[in-house]
Amino acid sequence: MTEAVAREVAAGIGYPVLVRPSYVLGGRAMEIVYDENDLNRYMNEA
């Protein structure tokens, strides 16, 4: 999923959202993001 699509989906369903990288098992790197700033930070750090 691209960053633009992630922002669109999150805005559509509303915050907070649970995000995680693709192909990661066991819940590693999952995070709850509470707004678009959190989502942008997460996407840049992932």
Q: What is the CATH number of domain 3-45?
A: 3.30.1490.20
Q: Is the dihedral of CA 17, 22, 5, 7 positive or negative?
A: positive
Distances (CA, A) of 7 to 21, 25, 26, 31, 44: 15, 23, 24, 15, 13
For residue 46, pLDDT beyond 80: no
In terms of pTM, does the model score above 0.95?
A: no
7 has pLDDT over 90: yes
- Please write the tens of the pLDDT for every residue from 14-31: 999 999 988 877 778 899
